[in-house]
Amino acid sequence: MSCHSRQSVWPGKYRSFVPQSIVAEPGNSLANLQNLEITICDLKLKAKIMSQDLVSVRHGMPVQIVDVTGVRVVLDQDLARFFDVETRVLNQSVKRYWERFPKGWAFQLTKAQFDDLKSQDVISSGQWGGRRSPPRAFTEHCVVTGMVFPASPDLVDAQLTTIKCCNRSLYWRFAQCASLPNMSPMRSDLDHLPHGKQRELQRVTEILFEEFTDAMKNTSSPKKKDGRILKIVLFGSYARGNWVDEPHTAKGYLSDYDLLIVVNQQSVVDFATYWYRAEDRLMRDAGIKTPVNFIVHTMDEVNNALGEGQYFFSDIIREGVALYDLKGSTPFITPRPQTPDEALATAVKHFEQRMEGVQSAFEFYTFGLNGARYNDASFMLHQVVERLYACLLLVETNYSPSTHSIKFLRSLSEQLAPELITVWPRETKHDRRLFELLKRAYVDARYSEHYAITAGELVWLGERAEILRTLVETRSRDKIEQLKAGAPTGI
């Protein structure tokens, strides 16, 4: 990668060179990009793309990257230290041309954001000589183009032209899996769906935002009040276009909407606090006929998973449809596929661990059934089914959501392995009631005095679980054999 520079008119040691063009050389792989050279302050700056919270190194000194409402930025104090200038000097330069900065490239923190960073010791407290006013924050565009030290309005315009022209060839990652380039924008159209389904998904999105907003009103933590939904992605059969909508036929099967909700901080992932009301409304809303399942993860979690080659998230990013994407939020990175050896070792590990847990749960189910401890047996049978579905998902995709809802796990598993649909008959109300009874067992069989299940119902459910075990085991072993065939060294 080459970088042609032009010197600015800054005097003395603050003289800077600003890149006027950044050209990707033929055959240069952005995924293998190691160094980006920009000449600044009469010195060679090597901006090494690194992982975790460190992105640039000069004279061995790291620059700290912080997350502010889902956007990764460098604070003025850290950027000034990087350029070997005082913070006030940098801010004076920025203030002089503040009106010329594109919206979103730089901003001043709010008091709540400032207090949150101080509570995390990212910024020193003013009580002992630390700063008292909120700092400015700069995105990667400001850092790369050198706009923090503009020499003149003409130079600012030149820099803007540079970054806009080079946007497709320049990748600067402020994410944890920083060695990978960003994904191309995800598609956002729903034209492949009937109008009725499009209206349902619009209503689903509205409910998610309404309930999340209401939940945020009840929090007193300044950090949690900065919680944001960054993205909502439709994945699965309705994104791919192969959904089934036959609830009134003999099969009685209806595909679910599957959604990935991406938030900006771990504190708002908690389902019991922020999302249970949304789930309840989605089940009861008269305008939504299709069942809705959703998972919630932070952007870091998703990008970490993509960097580790988790097929589940890779497929979502490749096939999904963006129902909502907060402008300026951190993008998804390009998935890094696992090596054949890695994929094989991971699948074998998941299979062995999960099937051992399945066998243990089956034994406890049998013990409870024989001892007429039916509620205990029901709970353990729920664990059998949950672990079987998790086993399949982990072997096939290296991911299983953190949920105890066997209905959601069933939906995801049946999309991967349609032969599993026959395990749970849906033709009659009796069949559907028994599965719901097992679904409720995770909570009600332990804590509700009104939960009741008979020996006959448990035997029938146990027989269905045995069928599920056979199918999952067969499917998982077939997957492992496929991976062995593609793994150079085997295990």
Q: Domain coordinates of the chain in residue numbers?
A: 2-165, 195-325, 340-486
188 closest CA partner among 128, 239, 114, 119: 239
Average pLDDT over residues 3-17: 32
Q: How many CB atoms lie within 10 A of CB 212?
A: 20
Q: Spell out a b/e string for 32-52, using b for 16 or more CB atoms within 10 Å of the CB, else e.
A: ebeebebbbbeeebebebbee
Q: Round to whole Å and give the CA distance between 70 and 103.
A: 16
Q: Residue 84: its pLDDT value, please?
A: 63
Task: List pLDDT tens digits, range 396-445.
Answer: 999 999 899 999 999 999 999 999 999 999 888 899 999 999 999 999 99
Q: What residues pair up with 17 in beta bridges, in sequence order?
A: 7
Answer whether residue 10 shows pLDDT above 80.
no
Q: What residues pair up with 16 in beta bridges, in sequence order?
A: 40
**Residue 45, by phi and psi: left (phi above 0), alpha (psi -120 to 50) or beta?**
beta
Residue 17, token pair as written in the block: 């060179």
Higher pLDDT, 452 or 71: 452
pLDDT grade, residue 308 (50/70/90)?
A: confident
- Reduced to 3 states (helix: H, G, I; strand: E, B; else coil), residue 341 is helix
Q: Residue 254: its pLDDT value, please?
A: 82
Q: Round to whole Å and give the CA distance between 139 and 75.
A: 9
pTM beyond 0.85: the answer is no
Which CATH number describes the domain made up of 195-325? 3.30.460.10
Angle at 390 between CA 273 and CA 227, to 5 degrees: 25
Average pLDDT over residues 310-337: 89
Q: Round to whole Å and give the CA distance between 122 and 145.
A: 25
Answer whether residue 118 shows pLDDT above 50.
yes
Q: Spell out a b/e string for 468-481, using b for 16 or more CB atoms within 10 Å of the CB, else e.
A: bbebbbebbeebbe
pLDDT grade, residue 103 (50/70/90)?
A: low
Q: Which H helix or E strand runs over 352?
A: helix 340-370
Q: Which of 115-119, 199-203, 275-279, 375-379 bottoms out in mean pLDDT, i.e. has the lowest? A: 115-119
Q: Residue 457: its pLDDT value, please?
A: 97
Number of residues that this document lists for the chain: 491
Q: Spell out a b/e string for 382-404, using b for 16 or more CB atoms within 10 Å of the CB, else e.
A: bbbbbbbbbbbbbbbbbbbbebe
pLDDT grade, residue 99 (50/70/90)?
A: low
Task: List pLDDT tens digits, range 161-213.
Answer: 333 333 332 333 333 333 344 555 788 999 999 999 999 999 999 999 999 99
Residue 99, token pair as written in the block: 């009106």
Q: What residues pair up with 294 in beta bridges, in sequence order?
A: 259
In the sheet where 257-263 sits, what is the strand order? 292-298, 257-263, 229-235, 321-325
How close are the terminal C-alpha atoms of the chain, in Å? 39
CATH superfamily of this structure's domain 340-486: Nucleotidyltransferases  domain 2 (1.20.120.330)
